[in-house]
């Protein structure tokens, strides 16, 4: 975790924005290289990636595949969503709706069986889930590993002990992602980890999923409740934690969202972001590399 002084970042971006971006991206890249090296040295067979909403799990999974390949370690991704059970078998929340964020919405025994077979004989068959019918398909997918190939599984329950209970832990590596660094203005911390991630989620969901900013805010308490129950308790068990905060991201999000946010300035959550933006410079989104983790939230490069 590092402390990021907004006044300092404003000045540095004003003088040389590309250098600020380069250093921040290089810091993240170095962490990925470190993880790939450890996986190589420890002869890891399964990499489990977990972390709360909008911490950057998707991009990190893909970027780690690239890093592992540099170490001549091919990787294969198992989608945890394919292990969902049929919708009519999922336990219900107090409001009567299926609790799809519960560990019991997954076929835990099937996950353990597949991971165990990978560890023992380098091959398994995995299910497929149809999200249209909300049911498992009849056809399973054969998965065979050769040489030093690594399985990557990413999801909110990836570090739940029930997933790997009884398996050979020496060949399993647990990576946790979070937003740990703090932004400061005039010596005072201005945003919590969750407020950073909410900003990211609002930007992404409005752009990709047509979710209104206010709807994202309304859902956020439920998201955090699920994190407290299903994700955060297992952070301490991780082998490695990556802090995915980028020093320049508030200046970037100001550029991307400030004008849109002004239409919602009566909302106290958005009003807080707008007040913070008043103290931030701006950074053109077109300067951000197309493989940056922040592209997961602001979208592809616009030319």
Taking only the tens place, the pLDDT of each residue in 245-290 is 999 999 999 999 999 999 999 999 999 999 999 999 999 999 999 9
pTM of structure = 0.93
pLDDT tier, 212 (very low <50, low <70, confident <90, very high otherwise): very high
What is the C-alpha separation between 75 and 295, in angstroms, rounded? 23
State the CB neighbour count (10 A cutoff) for residue 264: 17
pLDDT at position 288: 97
pLDDT over 80 at 1, yes or no: no
pLDDT tier, 146 (very low <50, low <70, confident <90, very high otherwise): confident
Contact residues for 196 (Cβ-Cβ < 8 A; gap 6+)? 179, 183, 245, 249
Residue 286's nearest CA partner among 252, 259, 257 is 252
If you average pLDDT over residues 209-231, what whole number do you get?
Answer: 94
Domain assignment of residue 303, yes or no: no
Classify burial at 48, counting beta carbons within 10 Å of its beta carbon; exposed 0-12, middle 13-18, buried 19 or more: buried
pLDDT tier, 5 (very low <50, low <70, confident <90, very high otherwise): very high
Torsion of CA 225, 230, 236, 239, to 10 degrees: -130
Q: What is the DSSP letter of 73?
A: -
pLDDT over 80 at 301, yes or no: no
Domain assignment of residue 9, yes or no: yes
Choose between 97 and 188: higher pLDDT. Answer: 188
User: 160 and 230 in contact (C-beta within 8 Å)?
Assistant: yes
pLDDT over 90 at 221, yes or no: yes
User: At residue 123, what are phi and psi to the nearest 5 degrees?
Assistant: -155, 155
Q: From its phi and psi, is residue 123 left (phi > 0), alpha (psi between -120 and 50) or beta? A: beta
Tokens of 191: 């945003």
C-alpha 209, offset from chain centre: 17
User: 194 and 177 in contact (C-beta within 8 Å)?
Assistant: no
Q: Tell me the CATH number at 271.
A: 3.40.50.300
Torsion of CA 173, 37, 149, 26, to 10 degrees: 100
Handedness of CA 116, 121, 122, 126 (dihedral sign): negative
pLDDT over 80 at 302, yes or no: no
Residue 301's nearest CA partner among 231, 252, 258, 267 is 252
Query: What's the mean per-residue pLDDT of the chain?
Result: 95
- As for how many domains the chain has, the answer is 1
The DSSP result for 189-216, as a single string, is E---HHHHHHHHHHHHHHHHS---HHHH
pLDDT tier, 303 (very low <50, low <70, confident <90, very high otherwise): low
Torsion of CA 192, 196, 198, 199, to 10 degrees: 140
Least confident of 38-52, 94-108, 174-188, 224-238: 94-108
Percent pLDDT > 70 in the chain is: 99
Per-residue CA distances from 71 to 29, 38, 99, 143 (Å):
15, 11, 40, 22
Cα Rg of the chain (Å, integer):
20
**Can you give the residue range of the structural domain that contains 11?**
3-298
pLDDT at position 148: 87
pLDDT tier, 196 (very low <50, low <70, confident <90, very high otherwise): very high
């Amino acid at each position: 975790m590092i402390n990021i002084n907004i006044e300092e970042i404003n000045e540095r971006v004003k003088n040389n924005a590309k250098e600020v971006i380069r250093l921040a991206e290089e810091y993240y890249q170095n962490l990925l290289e470190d993880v790939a090296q450890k996986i190589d040295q420890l002869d890891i067979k399964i990499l489990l990636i977990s972390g709360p909403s909008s911490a950057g799990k998707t991009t990190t999974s893909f970027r780690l595949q690239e890093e592992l390949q540099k170490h001549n370690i091919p990787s294969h991704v198992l989608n945890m969503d394919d292990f969902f059970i049929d919708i009519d078998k999922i336990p219900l929340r107090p409001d009567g709706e299926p609790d799809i964020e519960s560990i019991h919405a997954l076929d835990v025994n099937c996950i353990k069986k597949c991971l165990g077979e990978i560890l023992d004989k380098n091959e398994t068959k995995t299910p497929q889930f149809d999200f249209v019918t909300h049911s498992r398909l009849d056809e399973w997918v054969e998965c065979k590993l050769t040489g030093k190939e690594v399985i990557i599984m990413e999801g909110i329950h990836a570090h739940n002990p029930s997933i790997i209970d009884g398996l050979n832990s020496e060949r399993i590596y647990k990576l946790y992602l979070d937003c740990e660094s703090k932004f400061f203005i005039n010596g005072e911390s201005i945003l919590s980890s969750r407020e950073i991630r909410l900003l990211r989620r609002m930007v992404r969901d409005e752009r990709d999923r047509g979710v209104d900013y206010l709807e994202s805010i309304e859902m956020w308490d439920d998201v955090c409740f699920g994190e407290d129950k299903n994700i955060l308790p297992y952070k301490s068990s991780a082998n490695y934690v990556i802090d995915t905060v980028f020093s320049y991201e508030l200046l970037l999000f100001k550029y991307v969202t400030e004008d849109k946010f002004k239409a919602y300035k009566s909302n106290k959550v958005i009003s807080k972001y707008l007040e913070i933006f008043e103290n931030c410079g701006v950074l053109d989104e077109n300067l951000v590399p197309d493989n940056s983790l922040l592209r997961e939230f602001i979208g592809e490069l616009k030319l």
